[in-house]
Amino acid sequence: MRPRRSLRRRLRRGLVGILLGWVAITLGVIVLLRWINPPTTAFILQDRIGAALADEPGYDFRMQWRAWDRISPNAALAVVAAEDQRFPLHHGFDFRQIDKALDDRRKGARVRGASTISQQVAKNLFLWPGQSWVRKGLEAALTIAIEIAWPKQRILEIYLNIAEFGRATYGVEAASQRYYRKSAAGLTSTEAALLAAVLPSPRRFKVNAATPYLRQRQAWIEQQMRSLGGTAYVRTMD
């Protein structure tokens, strides 16, 4: 029994050591990413590896980084209006939306998403798709670290550059070039709203084949952009 207990103890220590090492490395990476642009993300790596293993026909990966001042403020406002309207105000978690989501679940209604832009950045950069409690716990911890280490502008800049706007199309610059044949700096409010409209499900909805539902969502996002006060709402983060 003693050798078995000793083995279990060593395994536990080893797992704790691995976990602490991962935490230390990840925190170090988060600090560096305040100034260094991420070359890729966990989600992108999983996507590209999966497409290569499946030999997916027509897979055309695109990602092109653009700095904050080279992205139209319309794009920043559109994703905030669509995904996280209290983004400049909260500290990583929108408890109002969480309460609404829990209330919807209790009523048996369709549960709305409550993830903030900060949470989505944490998930896309470091984690994997899914709804497990382990993943959600890691996402929460990473979100806190990101909110502490980065200003809001940096969080939104990274989100705009790593979000998937269509199959194998990552970042608003790649999306703008693919769908509008121009730089993200020149996006109009209408164009930006349509890009933001696909974000809940970028592999289901298509910018270049917009359904009536997607057009409705685009119009709603434009209305929300106006209600928030226009681009001044995100320019405060400059």
Burial 37-49 (b: 16+ CB within 10 A, else e): ebeebebbeebbe
Gap between the Cα atoms of 227 and 182, Å rounded: 27
Does 107 or 224 have the greater pLDDT score?
224
Whole-prediction pTM: 0.90
Given a cut of 60, whether residue 124 has pLDDT beyond it is yes
**pLDDT tens digit string along 129-147?**
888 888 899 999 999 999 9
* Residue 166: strand pairing partners: 169
Question: Amino acid identity of 93?
Answer: F
pLDDT band at 19 (very low <50, low <70, confident <90, very high): confident
**pLDDT tens digit string along 24-33?**
899 999 999 9
* Closest of 233, 155, 166, 154 to residue 199, by C-alpha: 166
Given a cut of 70, whether residue 108 has pLDDT beyond it is no
Given a cut of 60, whether residue 1 has pLDDT beyond it is no
Given a cut of 80, whether residue 238 has pLDDT beyond it is no
Q: Is 82 exposed, middle or buried (0-12, 13-18, 19+ CB in 10 A)?
A: buried
> To the nearest whole number, what is the mean pLDDT of the chain?
91
The CATH number of the structural domain formed by 33-235 is: 1.10.3810.10
CB 112 within 8 A of CB 104: yes
Mark residue 171 as left, alpha or beta (left: phi above 0; alpha: psi -120 to 50; beta: remaining).
Answer: left
Tokens at residue 13, please? 């220590």
So what's the pLDDT on residue 4? 66
